[in-house]
Amino acid sequence: MINRRRFSAALATSMAASMLSARGMVAHAEPVRARNIVMVHGLFADGSCWSEVIARLQAASLNVTSVQNPLTTFPEAVASARRVLDRQDGPTVLVGHSFSGMIVTEAGVHPKVSALVYVAARAPDAGEDYTALAKSYPSPPATAGIVFDGDEGRLSEAAFLRDFAGDLPEARAKVLFAVQMPFQKALLEGKTTQAAWRSKPSFYAVSTEDRTINPDLERFMAKRMSAKTIELKSSHLSMISHPEAITALILEAAGQTS
């Protein structure tokens, strides 16, 4: 006869396995067909960083909005994305690059969001200290290139060209550097309170040559969320250097590939 303690342990193990299996089924479920795409930029950028992908999605007759992330505080950044999501007229794919993966993770529980796409992006769990998680991997070179004027931070030009946009033509990278939006230190203090990837189909594009987020950290986060994952030989800015591949991943998340 099995004793009560062993029975309880076996039951807990079985339930945990079932929950993990269910999460995997959600992540790999057939995406709901969506015609709306909402995109959010991260640090050192503005909404125009999605331009190459936007043009391709619009050519596929999709409705696309690029959120102008204020880069002030995490709650304000999430609120800016939620306001855009509120305006959508049906199922919507929420896409985030870099830091804005945290916004996707938090705001992605919005009822209109049908799928999530992470592009070389942060993907913390609810309440997780992303900084502590990142420190468990070798520090990427771009970190040393962040400079502050008081509470306002940005990347130095050398770090931007080498470590952020390293596979772009220098002239193109310099244009992007010129429109770089500064961020406030307070933004980095925010933590997610929920993890949308636990309940929404998720997709992840890993940048294998990334010098802004460690590629192995990207792989870990993608695997943890059971995301459909692609790997691109790219700098941190894969949506600019590999717009066709990023567009294809978003179309798949929108159920537009069949």
> Within a domain: residue 137?
yes
The answer as to whether 3 is a domain residue is no
Average pLDDT over residues 209-231: 98
The C-alpha torsion from 103 through 212 and 93 to 20, rounded to 10°, is -80
Residue 95, helix vs strand vs coil: strand
* Bridge pairing between strands 152-155 and 63-67: unpaired
Report the number of distinct structural domains present in the chain.
1
For residue 58, being part of any structural domain is answered with: yes
The answer to the question of residue 35 being in a domain is yes
The answer to whether 195 and 107 have CB atoms below 8 angstroms apart is: no
Say if 5 falls within a structural domain.
no
- pLDDT category at 30 given cuts 50, 70, 90 is confident
Residue 88 CB burial class (10 angstroms; 0-12, 13-18, ≥19): buried
Per-residue pLDDT at 244 exceeds 90: yes
13 belongs to a structural domain: no
pLDDT of residue 258: 58
CATH number of the structural domain spanning residue 221: 3.40.50.1820
Mean pLDDT calculated for residue range 65-72: 97
- pLDDT confidence band for 11 (50 / 70 / 90): very low
How does residue 257 score in pLDDT terms, banded at 50, 70 and 90? confident
CA distances in angstroms from 101 to 18, 108, 170, 218, listed in the order given: 27, 10, 26, 11
Question: What is residue 182's DSSP assignment?
Answer: P
- Side-chain-side CA neighbours of residue 71 (13 Å): 21
**What pLDDT score does 28 carry?**
53
Q: How many CB atoms lie within 10 A of CB 169?
A: 10
Please indicate, yes or no, if residue 151 is contained in any of the structural domains: yes
90-144 confidence digits (pLDDT tens)? 999 999 999 999 999 999 999 999 999 999 999 999 999 999 999 999 999 999 9
Asked if residue 246 is part of any domain, the answer here is: yes
Instruction: For residue 77, give its domain range.
Output: 21-253
**Tens-digit pLDDT profile for residues 135-188:** 999 999 999 999 999 999 999 999 999 999 999 999 999 999 999 999 999 999
Residue of 138, 122, 95 lying closest to 221 (CA atoms): 122
On whether the CB atoms of residues 94 and 104 are closer than 8 A, the answer is: yes
